A and B are shown apart, each in its own frame.
Chain A
Amino acid sequence: MELGPYLILASLEGAVTAAVLALTAVGLSLVFGVMRVVNIAHGEFFMLGAVIAWWVAHITGGHPAIGFALALIVAPVLVGVIAVAADMTILKRLDYDPERTIVATIGLLYIIQQLTLMTYGPEARPVEAPFNTRLAIPWFKNGEDGWQMIWPWGLGTTSYKLAVIGAAVTVLLGVWALMKRTRIGLVMRATQADREMALAFGIPVERVYAMVFGLGAALAALAAVLIVPIQQAHYLMGGDPLLLSFIVVIIGGLGSLPGTVLAAVLIGLSDGIISVFFSPTLAKILATLLVGLVLVFRPQGLLGKRGV
């Protein structure tokens, strides 16, 4: 058995995990960075995205691509609206106090989870991928006729998985452009730098907060829509993305978007490779160990700045 093809397969699986994780974690990081709110309910926004995607695809019928394309828009928007409502009715009334918002978002987690259980039910339901062509993984082998391309038996990925990676990269570039190149991004970064001074220079901080919270939740929902043809929608599916997002955000540096993406790629790829060659449990153990090491030796994270 050759190692090479398996390594490519593992890396591809890891890249899919990394892509979805990066989107989810960037949402969490954005909310923490700008609002200083630790959103425990972030995983539930992810789950809602998946459930809404199933629901949209189920109602639409017809070719799976139509329902999926619709879900790609409806789920993030709807989840974003729910998050904005949660921000205005709950977080704003707590004055965005760091401790109380943690407790409040824990409450939000259970409310969303149980409401989903009561309405959607305990089943895991699949959403059909819009396209799903099987692609064999090529490998080069030096045989009797010199180098030739072979397709090792049983190793393959799908066009959909490659599309997930592409979509995540596109969205992340979009978020980067939003933060660095637009006026809204400038206002968001000013609010992140100094909330009081933002107010003193006419920035409607409460509106910025509501928008950021909605955007963060929408990113999680979008990630879930992308993953649901691979993973199925279930009311408890928010736990893992929440834990992994926290791991990624801590390793990358709280509030640092490039750090978050870097850590997501690191954790995602290592998760894929270790899962394929050893076991998924070992992958989680190593990721958690890495968090411990980062917290001890580089508390500000890989790309984070030292706090004031």
Chain B
Amino acid sequence: MLVLDKISSGYGRAQILRDLSLTVRSGEILCLLGRNGAGKTTTMQTIMGLLPLMSGRIALDGKDIGSLSAHRVPQAGIGYVPQGRRLFTGLSVAQNLEIGLLARHSGPDTLEEVLTLFPRLRERYRQRAETLSGGEQQMLATARALCLRPKALLLDEPTEGLQPSMIEAIRQVIVQMRAAGVAILLVEQRVDAVLSVADRVAFIENGQGGEVIEAETLRQDHSIVERYIGV
């Protein structure tokens, strides 16, 4: 379970997040919805320790991770799939995955499991990361995070710019991870994509947390979404 308790954060002196609270339970997909610039990516970067935590507390399974230095956060068990994939260019698929394995000293069995989830990566195993197609790169970014055997998984717009078959493949894996008990925080622009997979939806506005609503309720009543997102 990943708990954010009244966290504030930002870039330099520009504060973006103000007392944001969120709880992602193990084995659920919580989707963060909000307009551009509302602070979705900032939330993820703050959890990863890449932005300084000004106040508040972040805990993973009851253990405080907000006070850890950035490289200790993934070691505590958080996998991050950043926006724009951000693979290690110049490194092969195998080496990108190896970096993921190193973080939590995962063994070859983890690698085997991840490659079973993404058979396409096995075919491209020795290829350089930047030579993969967009969908394959997204698979690699996801696989790299799964190599940590994460307790919580942060996905920042994982289906952005992908063709439908790839979106479906990524979605399948996310659902499988939920079944395996991973706490999943998902940022996604497309509301229909969110509603088909999320368990709960948290709204974020101007860096502040809004309502948290069961996805089922939203599926029946779209008007709430429109109020927050303004589509």
Contact = CB atoms under 8 A, between A and B. Distances in A.
B101 to A, nearest CB: 10
Interface string B184-208: 0000000000000000000000000
B88 interface: yes
A122 interface: no
Contacts of A204: 71
Interface residues of B, number: 26
B90 A201 contact: no
A196 B50 CA distance: 7
Interface in A175-213: 183, 186-187, 189-190, 192-194, 196-205
Contact of A189 (B72, B88, B100, B104): B88
Given A186-B95, A197-B82, A202 B75 contact: yes
A202 B103 contact: yes
B94 to A, nearest CB: 10
Contact of B103 (A192, A194, A201): A201
A86 B57 CA distance: 34
A200 B80 contact: yes
Contacts of A197: 82, 86-88
Contacts of B73: 200
Contact of A190 (B70, B75, B80, B99): B99
Contact of B74 (A189, A192, A202, A205): A202
B127 to A, nearest CB: 16
**A interface, over-half SS:** helix
Interface residues of A, number: 18
Contact of B102 (A187, A189, A193): A187
B160 interface: no
Given A200-B70, A201-B144, A202-B75, A186 B91 contact: yes
Contacts of B100: 201
B91 A194 contact: no
B172 interface: no
Interface in A33-79: none
Nearest to A308: B89
Contact of B89 (A193, A201, A202, A203): A193
Contacts of A189: 88, 90-91, 95
B89 A183 contact: no
Contacts of B72: 202
B5 interface: no
A100 B102 CA distance: 33
B98 interface: yes
Contacts of A198: 71, 88, 99
Contact of B99 (A192, A196, A203, A205): A203
A14 B71 CA distance: 45
B71 A194 contact: no
Interface of A: 183, 186-187, 189-190, 192-194, 196-205
Given A186-B99, A198-B99, 9 more contacts: A186-B98, A190-B88, A190-B95, A192-B90, A197-B86, A201-B80, A201-B99, A201-B103, A204-B71
